[in-house]
Chains A and B, each alone.
Chain A
Amino acid sequence: MISKLRQRGAWLETFSTLALVLIAIAYVQGDVYLEDVAILVATYSMIALGLYVPFIMGGALSMSYNAYLGIGAYAVAIIASKTGLGFGWGLPIGMALSAAVAVILGFATRRLSGFFLASVTVLFGIAFTSWLIASADLTGGGAGIPTFPTPVVFGVKLTHTIVVSIALLLVWIVAVLLARLRRSPFGVAVRASRRASTAVEASGIRISTIVLVSLALGAIIASLGGSMFALVNESVIPESFAIDIVFLTVFTPLLGGQSTPWGAVLGAFLVVLFTFELTMFKETGTLLFALAVLVVLVAAPRGLLGYASSGLKLLTSRLEPR
């Protein structure tokens, strides 16, 4: 009975979000500017979704997501421009590399948590951008890889519009899968380990291992986002993968809501709206975003979606006869 209700709610969430994403795809189609905004939303969403399992569910704040985003983007760009392999290889190679880096970094920092973990991983994120600029032979240095051929799949040219649509659909797929993962045994164990790690460990689950797997999963998601970003732009430059992007993204689930991955997506949308879209505020967009985060933290500590869902519950409980 309970699980039936839960399943029904999950299906409702799946289809309503699909409808929203399809509307978004139809709305931005053909308008280059809107498509650029859309790919930014998709990219921020993928970073936010990457953060979701290790940070929001597990409490491990690793900040190196700009590096995973960059690895995914450069993997596609380098393979498309410098090797004879198809661009498609860039996606799995980027994801595998990102996962490997996340595991190595996570293992090296396994005794750190909270502030110190965040600091060390920020340093790694900064070092990654410097490395991109320094290794000109591989990455094109400061100029990046200015252009690579438009990818072709089965004879169909993947135009700007098509890739943007695919990227938005991927956000939907990842968010739906993460929402399912969250309530699965793995998700329950990750969420429990946040506050009751001693007990989870005593039940037979190695905390250090489950953290590493979550970090690898997050890195894979961010890398996929990076690959899509590169495919849309058909170029990569190091500045796109600076650490700032993580500082903005880390707050997105707080803003959107933490109890579902869709909170991260909503937050990502708001970040882009505040920092890029509201041109009249231009410089102050980031400041406005910071203010919005503060307001949400004070007024609706569970995020906008958390607020909406309790409002909805209140409404339905009033409507249903008792």
Chain B
Amino acid sequence: MNDEAILVCEGLDKRYGAVQAVKGVTFSLHRGEILGLVGPNGAGKTTLVDLISGAQRQDAGFAAIRGKRLSGPPSRRARVNGLARTFQHPQVALELTVRENVLIGVTAPSLGSVGGLVLSVIKGCLSPDTAAEDLRVTSVAAAVGLPEITRRCSELTLGELRLVEVARALVADPSVILLDEPFAGGDVHGVASVSRALQEIVKTGASVILVDHNVDLVAALVNRIVLLNFGQILFDGDAKECLASPAMQDVYFGAAHL
């Protein structure tokens, strides 16, 4: 790990009516770093992820990857800024195979423009097979723990669907990956496979933001924690220090600490 900041968030604000969901959030993510974004339900984690990924627009502030400001829809951020993400509720086409779902991560750049789409229609009619892309899909899928890529996704467990999402994100060779609640609804096996997938991600040099409300799980996997509550950052620093910090005690154990 070095100190080069890959992702920078500066003064991000988002308000829904009377509720200030995210307030002046400023932090940076370094190259090869795994950053845990934690906080109780309603802390503003999902809103912050939405602002970075482009699902929602901020009222003020900005986010930038490698000095380039993030703007426009999620598809643009994926292509231009190298941002990839997974979803709290896995967004996987169940009637497609693992190979097909992951393939989208490889082929998306060539399908990103009108010209690219028209070309891909012509090329798809003439030579539809994707031998080179399939090799990459196979190796990345195997690395995150999905050896059988011809399986239909409707046969997979929730944990395996999350791995499909990780593979789809990873295969695009992104500079930043957002993992949104990868442990929700999962079991012990799911946690182990996500942590294995994390190691694979870090090997590629990508930086990761791991979002979850389960502080203990996250703390065991990350270098650094950002603690969010009521839309504001209460703590930003070493994972172990975070667990022991008064801010953490306040947020998670409230009255007990007093």
Interfacial residues, chain A to chain B (CB-CB below 8 A): 2-3, 6-7, 177-178, 180-189, 191-192, 194-196, 198-207, 209-210, 213, 217
Contact = CB atoms under 8 A, between A and B. Distances in A.
Contacts of B131: 3
Contacts of A181: 121, 124-125, 128
A203 B78 contact: yes
B18 interface: no
A180 B123 CA distance: 10
A177 B126 CA distance: 7
B249 interface: no
Contact of A187 (B74, B87, B124, B165): B124
B91 A199 contact: yes
Contacts of B118: 213
A198 B93 contact: no
Interface in B86-126: 87, 91-96, 100-101, 103-105, 107-114, 117-118, 120-121, 123-126
B33 to A, nearest CB: 21
B228 interface: no
A185 B172 contact: no
Contacts, number: 129
Contact of B117 (A182, A199, A209): A209
B129 A3 contact: yes
B133 A185 contact: yes
Contact of A184 (B85, B91, B104, B120): B120
Contacts of B130: 184-185
Interface residues on B, range: 35 or more
B14 interface: no
Given A204-B111, A206-B76, 13 more contacts: A6-B129, A177-B125, A184-B130, A188-B107, A191-B95, A191-B100, A196-B92, A196-B101, A198-B91, A200-B104, A203-B78, A204-B78, A204-B79
Contact of A202 (B84, B96, B109, B128): B84
Given A180-B124, A184-B128, A209-B117, A189 B104 contact: yes
A185 B124 contact: yes
B45 interface: no
Nearest to B150: A2
B93 A194 contact: yes
Contacts of A186: 111, 117, 120-121, 123-124
Nearest to B129: A3
A203 B114 contact: no
What are the 5 tightest A-B residue pairs by CB atom distance, in nearest-first order?
Answer: A184-B124, A199-B91, A204-B78, A184-B128, A185-B107
Contacts of B172: 203-204
Contacts of B76: 204, 206
Contacts of A192: 93, 96, 100-101, 104
Contacts of A204: 75-76, 78-79, 108-109, 111-112, 172
7 contacts: A185-B104, A187-B124, A187-B128, A199-B91, A201-B74, A202-B53, A206-B76
A196 B150 contact: no
Given A188-B100, A195-B93, A205 B124 contact: no
